[in-house]
């Protein structure tokens, strides 16, 4: 039998964690190693393979195409080994499908629809994990994940993307003028925002640029630490927020928010849906992905 051509196995956990987080520092914290040790192990792995797995720039590490593809293979393999080892040790088996979803999409878009999936797939359990951070911030394995396109995703495998559109929304009691407002009128109201670094989703300057209007001078900006808080502040009449149609459509239908400008920004691939690396559940995962694709109209 031909001898397996394996890379040094001791270096794979460091690579898998660094690929999942797209961060050597986060990988080191998880593994109880120094950042230097993780960096050296990955450099040695790259030398053995003869290919760069990460691009290092500005003190950050970004997966190359080769690194992303290799990361998917290693992540799946290590997840399989971990699951089988747990089984042999007599550990509990985790049932159901794990769906990782951004908090706003989980609360405002997914939950009102999830009963339809259960009606179509009786007996199939879905465990929803909501999060404010990107996929690279989680160490828990998942079967399917939903997040804004452009946010860090590590080596997660993209299943499909879906469109969305972005427009200003406010409480019906806030705007006294006749609707729709012009973009220039928005400067008369507080603009609610959730600013993050890096800014991996659309904010007010990007929205004004997308409709070919300059960002107003000296706008009144109210910054909050999460997008769910932005929406709640808008509902409470504290200002105007940017709304993603898939997220705010239910709030508009219920009368809690209204679209205040005719201008919208169409984003053809705003949402990304990923397939995870948990062992098994292939048929169940396929069923969930097919249902999500139908619901997104992708």
Task: Tell me if the bond preceding 233 is cis, omega within 30° of 0.
Answer: no
Judge whether 9-88 and 163-267 match in fold: no
Nearest-CA neighbor of 236 among 186, 175, 171? 171
What does the alpha-carbon distance between residue 17 and residue 139 come to, in Å, rounded to a whole number? 8
What does the alpha-carbon distance between residue 164 and residue 202 come to, in Å, rounded to a whole number? 12
Give the start-to-end residue ranges of the domains of the chain.
9-88, 97-152+270-296, 163-267
Task: Tell me if the bond preceding 29 is cis, omega within 30° of 0.
Answer: no
What does the alpha-carbon distance between residue 149 and residue 138 come to, in Å, rounded to a whole number? 17
Going residue by residue through the chain, which has 298 residues, state the pLDDT in tens, using 9 for 90 and above. 456 788 888 899 999 889 988 889 989 998 999 999 999 999 999 999 999 999 998 878 889 999 998 988 888 788 777 767 767 776 655 568 999 999 999 999 999 999 999 999 998 899 999 998 899 888 788 999 999 998 989 888 999 999 999 999 999 999 989 999 999 999 999 999 987 767 778 999 999 999 999 888 888 999 998 899 999 999 999 999 999 999 999 999 999 999 999 999 999 999 999 998 776 667 899 999 999 999 999 5
pLDDT score, position 1 = 42
* Domain range 9-88, CATH class: mainly alpha
pLDDT score, position 80 = 73
| CATH of the domain spanning 97-152+270-296 | 3.40.190.10
What backbone torsions phi and psi does residue 187 show, to the nearest 5 degrees? -65, -15
| CATH of the domain spanning 163-267 | 3.40.190.10
Evaluate whether 280 touches 294 at the Cβ level (below 8 Å): no
pLDDT score, position 14 = 93
Q: What is the DSSP letter of 182?
A: P
Helices first, then strands: H and E counts in the chain? 10, 11
């Amino acid at each position: 039998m031909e001898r397996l051509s394996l890379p040094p196995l001791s270096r794979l956990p460091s690579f898998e964690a660094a690929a999942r987080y797209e961060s050597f520092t986060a990988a080191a914290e998880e593994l109880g190693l120094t950042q230097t040790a993780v960096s050296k192990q990955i450099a040695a792995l790259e030398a053995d393979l003869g290919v760069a797995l990460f691009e290092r720039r500005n003190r950050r590490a970004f997966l190359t195409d080769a690194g992303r593809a290799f990361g998917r293979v290693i992540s799946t393999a290590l997840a399989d080994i971990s699951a089988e080892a747990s089984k042999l040790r007599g550990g509990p088996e985790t049932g159901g499908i794990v769906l990782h979803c951004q908090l706003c999409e989980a609360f405002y878009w997914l939950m009102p629809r999830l009963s339809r999936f259960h009606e179509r797939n009786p007996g199939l359990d879905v465990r929803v994990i909501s999060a404010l951070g990107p996929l690279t911030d989680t160490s828990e394995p998942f079967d399917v994940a939903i997040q804004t396109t452009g946010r860090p995703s590590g080596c997660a495998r993209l299943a499909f993307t879906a469109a969305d559109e972005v427009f200003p929304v406010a409480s019906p009691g806030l705007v006294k003028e006749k609707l729709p407002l012009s973009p220039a009128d928005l400067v008369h109201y507080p603009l609610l925002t959730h600013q993050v670094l890096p800014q991996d989703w659309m904010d007010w300057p990007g929205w004004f640029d997308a409709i070919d209007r300059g960002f107003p001078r000296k706008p009144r900006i109210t910054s909050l630490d999460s997008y769910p808080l932005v929406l709640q502040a808008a509902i409470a009449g504290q200002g105007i927020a940017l709304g993603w149609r898939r997220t705010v459509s239910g709030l508009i239908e219920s009368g809690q928010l209204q679209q205040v400008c005719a201008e919208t920004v169409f984003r053809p691939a705003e949402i990304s849906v990923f397939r995870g690396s948990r062992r098994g559940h292939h048929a169940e995962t396929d069923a969930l992905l097919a249902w999500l694709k139908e619901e997104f109209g992708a």
